[in-house]
Amino acid sequence: MADISLTASMRSNLLSLQSTQSLMDMTQERLSTGKKVNSAIDNPSSYYTAQSLNNRADDLSALLDSMGQGVQTIKAANEGIETITSFAEQAKAIANSARDVASNFDKFAITSDEITKGVTGDVFVDSREDMSTFDITFTATSDASKKFTVYIGDQEGQEVSLSAGATTAKLAAQEAVTALQGMGLNAEIGEDGATVTVSSTDGSDISWVNGSKADGSAGLTASDSAAKKVNLDASKGANSATIAAALNDTTDGAGNLIVAEADGKAVSVYAKDSTKEFRIFGATADSIGLSGSKKAGDANEVTQERIDYAKQFNEILSQIDSLAKDAGYKGINLLQENDLTVIFNEDRSSKIEVKGVDASSEGLGLAEVKNDWQKDADIDASISQVENAISKLRTMASDFGNNYSIVQTREEFTDNLINVLTEGADNLTLADMNEESANMLALQTRQQLAINSLSLASQASQSVLQLF
């Protein structure tokens, strides 16, 4: 090419044409790729800045998928809690239905409250076929020190003390009648002149305790109709088992008046003879929830309807356990104490840890039915457990709902941030297609003009040919 000589005008036009073609090539590349910066050669600063922004956007996009899966895991747990709550409410309805069914045990037995510490003091036990009436038999050896105490309904005991003149059984009986009638009771002396029959005017329960000394030795008589005193000391009143044993030692001529059973920290009492009524009273009995009266009957006869309800309740607990196991998502079950960690940024410095819970029946404090719900106390215990479980479930639902909201909000933020990063990168590298199209049109015009100009410049050299 160095051996070929071009005129100055031709070389100028040729260089212009080459420059135009170079610009056209660059513009065509921008039009085809849509970018004005396609490599570091085009613009190092913009290229590497855009690449950094795109790389972060890609990293966040990967985390965005993880956040979405975290949201689904929490949603699965929340759905499980809502369903378990429905089961718990159903269990409570079953327990309330069972509570409405009359039970023989609670009709014929007294159950104490929980006994959590030692009890000392006197408990009185009475058992007769009719608790509204009793007999007192006086003896000729009675003296002025002989006393007895009468208990009417829930009233405090009223003491009757014989006078020094009551030296015979008849005189003692007459004084007793006067005192008893003064209490508002019906009192009559029998044909033997020594026995007084006492009854309440309104059918309420009445009892009498023989003697005024702690050991009962100052009694009027050994009459079987007197209420028996059980003294609970540090040993006998230590706990529910020792209290039950002490009450079981209460005897009359026919044997035990009552049957007492320790039931956890409580004591249940019912009449040994199903034809007799029984009554427990006294300040000490009040303090442990054992005071009251019950009619005669078989406390151990089961109530089938309560048994049926108990089976339904236990089945609900089984369903709660099964549902808690089935509430997992992709191997993570928040209701089985599995924890979930959701990462929010690319360097893992921002995250949330969702703590798993135990939503099984055991974790919620729900136990299977005790004693087939024959006792009201057992049903009440189950109802209390269910109410506590529902409270726990509501707290769990609140915690998961808060975590769900946090993860979902961060997911939306990350999605928006990815758009911001991508837009920022595009601002640095994308070409303005309208501008590039106008540039291409201008370059095409310039190219055509350059070709025409080159053609005109070459005509001067072509005129030499006319000499030949």
Say whether 354 sits in a helix, a strand or coil. Answer: strand
User: Are 134 and 262 part of one and the same domain?
Assistant: yes
Our count of domains for the chain comes to: 2
From first to last of its 468 residues, the chain has per-residue pLDDT tens of 556 656 666 677 667 767 776 767 666 666 666 666 666 666 677 767 777 777 888 888 888 888 989 999 999 999 999 999 999 999 999 999 999 998 889 889 998 888 988 999 999 999 888 999 998 888 765 454 578 889 998 888 898 888 877 778 888 889 899 999 999 999 999 998 888 999 999 999 999 987 644 444 445 654 556 888 899 999 999 999 999 999 988 765 445 688 999 988 899 999 888 888 999 999 999 999 999 999 888 888 999 999 999 999 999 999 999 999 999 999 999 999 999 999 888 888 888 999 999 999 999 999 999 989 998 888 999 999 999 999 999 999 999 999 999 999 998 998 888 888 887 766 666 566 676 677 677 767 776 776 776 666 666 666 655 655
User: Are 94 and 154 part of one and the same domain?
Assistant: no
Distance CA 80, CA 208 (A): 60
User: Are 224 and 332 part of one and the same domain?
Assistant: no
User: Are 179 and 120 part of one and the same domain?
Assistant: yes
Phi, psi dihedral angles at 333 (to 5 degrees) = -120, 100
User: Are 79 and 135 part of one and the same domain?
Assistant: no
Task: Give how far the C-alpha of residue 50 lies from the chain's centroid of Cα atoms, to the nearest Å.
Answer: 52
Residue 273 lies in a domain: yes
Residue 196 lies in a domain: yes
Contact 152, 200 (CB under 8 A): yes
In this structure, are strands 109-111 and 133-137 parallel, antiparallel, or unpaired?
A: unpaired
Residue 134 lies in a domain: yes
Structure tokens at 443: 């370059």
Tokens 């059973």, residue located: 261
Sign, CA dihedral 391-397-398-400, equals positive
Tokens 């015979």, residue located: 168
Residue 5 lies in a domain: no
Residues 6+ apart with CB under 8 A from 210: 148, 216, 219, 220, 221, 222, 223, 226, 227
Distance CA 414, CA 447 (A): 49
Distance CA 453, CA 460 (A): 12
What CATH number has the domain bearing residue 413? 1.20.1330.10
For the full predicted model, state whether its pTM sits above 0.85. Answer: no
Residue 1 lies in a domain: no
Domain extent, residue 166, equals 109-294
Q: Where is the domain boundary, 239, 264, 294?
A: 294
Q: Where is the domain boundary, 264, 294, 324?
A: 294
Contact 410, 344 (CB under 8 A): yes
Residue 40 lies in a domain: no
Structure tokens at 109: 């037995």
